[in-house]
Structure 1
Amino acid sequence: MSHEELAAWLRLVLTPGVGNDAGRRLLAAFGLPQAIFDQTASALRQVVSAAQTSALLSPPTKLPAQVQATHDWLTAGDSDGTQQRRLVTLGDPLYPASLLNLEDPPLMLYLLGQVRLLGAQPNLASAPVSKAPDASHSIANSWPTKALAMVGSRNPTPQGAQNARQFAKALSDAGLTVVSGLALGIDGAAHEGALVNHLIDTPASRLRTLAVIGTGIDRVYPRQHRDLAHRVATHGLIVSEYPLGTPPLAANFPKRNRLIAGLSSGTLVVEAALQSGSLITARLTAEQGKEVLAIPGSIHSPQSRGCHALIRQGAKLVETATDILEELPWPEVSSTTNKIADVTDAASASPASNTHSDLLQALGADPVSLDALQARTGLDTATLQAHLLELELQGAVGRLPGGLFQRMGLG
């Protein structure tokens, strides 16, 4: 888009007190943003409030800097072209059609990654906007239709994180796009699982994973996920509705969850406490008429109570990737369900299942203390700790806060 078009869109988005709903009404009434700012106060007042009208008549003080920063970001890109950048506005042919069903679809989306797989052209900064936004028209593009959101706790148990990686890998291998929020815990594990066995320099042939973030797209939050974000952009896509430079504000993360739900055909909650933000994503998914799925866990784990509550409310109980493929309407992947079941079963098997069998049996599925294990096995403390350390190094046992241990895998 031209510099003038970019400035007008950013002015609309950055005007204080004018959110997505008022923005859509203004666009419906006057067309493109440039026309909005050509209106008189009385004309604007017919569409929005007096306070909003007053704000629209005064350009935001930070607008010039934001326009320049956005232009620079769009035209920068990677020198080798492995990651593309695009600003998509409401009404753009590349705008995801599934988001038009939201109550407040974002006016703009910032995209970073494999934009070429959506049908965009490489010259991302110069693509013109030739018509006014129309939320009712049919938009044809290549956003993934077989996409599953995977969300959960930022502080998962070792088993929860392992489940997220295993399910994400199995589903991604089956051709699904794994959608999550790049947060610590389950989100990060889901993105990692979707990218298993795919080297950073291997050209992407489809979007394996999609990250919807709650900051400006020029920021990575949390910082620990900087390398992961680069891998996501190399084999998938990062999406943000927030202007460049937006810091990690607490209010933005629940809001972005509607986009995670909107870009997916359903949501799998891997592990979540009762007050988890993941339950917001699950609620929004249900409100959009899509499937909610949940993996059950230990009755003693607070991180499983959110999943159990969802199951009581009607969410699909999931034990294998096959359960997901059978529940969601994707007949073209039905022929792969046997293969996926094998992948899931193999991934969930403990690497130490042929050794230390008595101790693994004594561990069971729930977290357990050292004292309880001693009572169950009759082993002295030194011997028990030596066996636990060996199993931990093999990845068969996880160490939890409070001196508890948990068996990894269900095999």
Structure 2
Amino acid sequence: MSNFADLPTILRLHNCHVTFKQLEAIQQHFGSLNVALDSNESDWKHAELLKENQLAMLFSDDSKQRLEQALDWGQQTNQAWLMLGEMVYPKQLTEISDPPILLGVRGNAGLLNDPQIAIVGSRHASKQGAETAKDFAHYLSQQGLGITSGLALGIDTAAHQGALLGIGKTVAVVATGLDRIYPASNQKLGHQIVEEGVMISEFPLGTKPLNFNFPRRNRIISGLSVGTLVVEAALKSGSLITARTALEQGREVFAVPGSIHNPQAKGCHQLIKQGAKLVESGQDVLEELASNLQYALDLDSHEPQAAKTASTNHERNTSRLLEWIGYDAISLDELVVLSKMPVSGLQGELMMLELSGEIEALSAARWRRIK
């Protein structure tokens, strides 16, 4: 999809919480977004395209000031706005029915197009549940997968922490403006994610942590990911909303079983009854996602010749890697030196070799051949 308009135009509408469907309707009604924003308040009221509170924000006295603040924010180091239609906008999100028209980004925006898996769960996680989430995240991160979650307390926090221990990166999708980190107790973790991963939000600067924003945020968590793993969730947990949106988006859903006496496991058990895949280890997740991950790794190879070249390169790279990976452990750093491949590409090849059963991952980012 091509860009609807320039950044200032989109930011004005974004500051009014305009959705993708509303944006399409506005463009269709007025002919263009520039014409729409040149129209007066009476024309907008007659069009009935925005809610009353959105219209009030569009024509408020401070709308120009908020626009200037947002533009200035996007010019700061390690901060940016990504418009739907731009090349750097996450491709996975363009495939959902209501993608954000604009994303605020703090950190490495390039990570948003890497293969990711969402790990979510209860804010009131048990100690065992938090450790389980951390272990899954660490293992999957070691395989080069990005770990996506919502920076909430409990399972989300553990997932981000586990991801940061591995070689993959982590993506935090928040339900506030990016000029704050919520909850406050995750300030240190949030800053670490910005430094080593990426934090994103579809909400304008200044947006407070309002309850109704969290379910909306969840569709982005699942939308960015090839699959969603739920670790501990009560029957009315917000994590079940994330699982439902994942299914609606055609993504895989996994759940970790727990004790039948643990109320925080009942949501996971319900998901399993409804068809979610029961998983007991990170390897279970990788095996289920093998074809999805191959697709995600080859997203940029859509033209026939490009696909053929990518396939040839993949076969050549894996063949070369197997020459260097023996039955004794070898580290990622050693493979980078030997292969002269970029770390991101190397991680993808290692992941596919592990999924095919050629090698196995060991601790401390090391691998060895098993056949």
TM-score bin (small chain): 0.7 to 0.9
For the structure 1 residues 51 and 73, does the alpha-carbon distance in structure 2 shift closer, same or farther, using more than 3 Å as the test? closer
Give the structure 2 partner of residue 100 of structure 1: 94
Give the Cα–Cα distance (whole angstroms) in 2 for the partners of residues 51 and 169 of structure 1: 43
Give the structure 1 partner of residue 249 of structure 2: 288
Asked if the contact 1:25/1:47 (under 8 Å) is kept, the reply is no
Give the structure 2 partner of residue 239 of structure 1: 200
Asked if the contact 1:293/1:316 (under 8 Å) is kept, the reply is yes
Give the structure 2 partner of residue 159 of structure 1: 128
Larger mean CA deviation between 94-103 and 245-254 belongs to 94-103
CA apart distance, 1:32: 5.9
Larger mean CA deviation between 177-186 and 99-108 belongs to 99-108
The one-letter amino acid paired with 2:11 is L
Give the Cα–Cα distance (whole angstroms) in 1 for the partners of residues 270 and 136 of structure 2: 21
Matched, 1:222 2:205: no
Give the Cα–Cα distance (whole angstroms) in 1 for the partners of residues 155 and 50 of structure 2: 44
CA apart distance, 1:218: 1.0
Which one has a larger percent helix, Structure 1 or Structure 2? 2
Asked if the contact 2:22/2:49 (under 8 Å) is kept, the reply is no
CA apart distance, 1:212: 0.3
For the structure 1 residues 46 and 213, does the alpha-carbon distance in structure 2 shift closer, same or farther, using more than 3 Å as the test? same
The one-letter amino acid paired with 2:60 is P
Asked if the contact 2:73/2:80 (under 8 Å) is kept, the reply is no
For the structure 1 residues 173 and 230, does the alpha-carbon distance in structure 2 shift closer, same or farther, using more than 3 Å as the test? same
- Give a deviation string over 1:45-66, Cα, whole Å, max 9, x none: 89654977x9389623331221
Give the Cα–Cα distance (whole angstroms) in 2 for the partners of residues 174 and 322 of structure 1: 10
Percent identical: 43
SS of match in other structure, 1:275: coil
Give the structure 2 partner of residue 35 of structure 1: 35
* TM-score of the superposed pair, with normalisation by structure 1: 0.66
SS of match in other structure, 2:25: helix
Give the Cα–Cα distance (whole angstroms) in 2 for the partners of residues 56 and 28 of structure 1: 21
Asked if the contact 1:168/1:191 (under 8 Å) is kept, the reply is yes
Give structure 2 stretches of 5+ with no counterpart: 295-348, 365-371
Asked if the contact 1:85/1:112 (under 8 Å) is kept, the reply is yes
Asked if the contact 1:88/1:109 (under 8 Å) is kept, the reply is yes
- Give a deviation string over 1:100-119, Cα, whole Å, max 9, x none: 2333222211011012x36x
For the structure 1 residues 36 and 159, does the alpha-carbon distance in structure 2 shift closer, same or farther, using more than 3 Å as the test? same
* TM-score of the superposed pair, with normalisation by structure 2: 0.73
Asked if the contact 2:8/2:71 (under 8 Å) is kept, the reply is no
The one-letter amino acid paired with 1:240 is S
Give the structure 2 partner of residue 389 of structure 1: none
The one-letter amino acid paired with 1:90 is L
Give the Cα–Cα distance (whole angstroms) in 2 for the partners of residues 46 and 13 of structure 1: 21
SS of match in other structure, 1:285: helix
Asked if the contact 1:322/1:340 (under 8 Å) is kept, the reply is no
Q: How does 1:248-327 map to 2 (within 5 A)?
A: 248-327=209-288
Asked if the contact 1:24/1:107 (under 8 Å) is kept, the reply is no
Asked if the contact 2:13/2:58 (under 8 Å) is kept, the reply is no
SS of match in other structure, 2:113: coil
Give the structure 2 partner of residue 149 of structure 1: 118
For the structure 1 residues 25 and 265, does the alpha-carbon distance in structure 2 shift closer, same or farther, using more than 3 Å as the test? same
- Give a deviation string over 1:235-272, Cα, whole Å, max 9, x none: 21101001111111111111100000100001000111
The one-letter amino acid paired with 1:94 is V
Asked if the contact 1:37/1:56 (under 8 Å) is kept, the reply is no
The one-letter amino acid paired with 2:26 is L
The one-letter amino acid paired with 1:307 is C
Aligned residue pair count: 301
For the structure 1 residues 311 and 26, does the alpha-carbon distance in structure 2 shift closer, same or farther, using more than 3 Å as the test? same
Give the structure 2 partner of residue 8 of structure 1: 9
- Give a deviation string over 1:148-178, Cα, whole Å, max 9, x none: 0000000111110001111101100101000
Asked if the contact 1:285/1:291 (under 8 Å) is kept, the reply is yes
Matched, 1:20 2:20: yes
Give the Cα–Cα distance (whole angstroms) in 2 for the partners of residues 304 and 228 of structure 1: 26
Q: Select the structure of larger CA radius of gyration.
A: 1
Q: Could you tell me which of 94, 105, 116 is aligned with 1:111? A: 105
Q: How does 1:50-129 map to 2 (within 5 A)?
A: 55=55, 59-77=59-77, 84-115=78-109, 117=110
For the structure 1 residues 61 and 104, does the alpha-carbon distance in structure 2 shift closer, same or farther, using more than 3 Å as the test? farther
Question: RMSD between aligned alpha carbons?
Answer: 3.0
- Give a deviation string over 1:332-353, Cα, whole Å, max 9, x none: 5242256667659xxxxxxxxx
Give the Cα–Cα distance (whole angstroms) in 2 for the partners of residues 14 and 317 of structure 1: 41
The one-letter amino acid paired with 2:136 is F
Give the Cα–Cα distance (whole angstroms) in 2 for the partners of residues 57 and 178 of structure 1: 35
SS of match in other structure, 2:38: coil
- Give a deviation string over 1:82-132, Cα, whole Å, max 9, x none: xx11111222222222222333222211011012x36xxxxxxxxxxxxxx
Give structure 1 stretches of 5+ with no counterpart: 78-83, 119-141, 199-206, 345-411
Q: How does 1:141-220 map to 2 (within 5 A)?
A: 143-144=113-114, 146-196=115-165, 208-220=169-181
Give the Cα–Cα distance (whole angstroms) in 2 for the partners of residues 256 and 212 of structure 1: 7
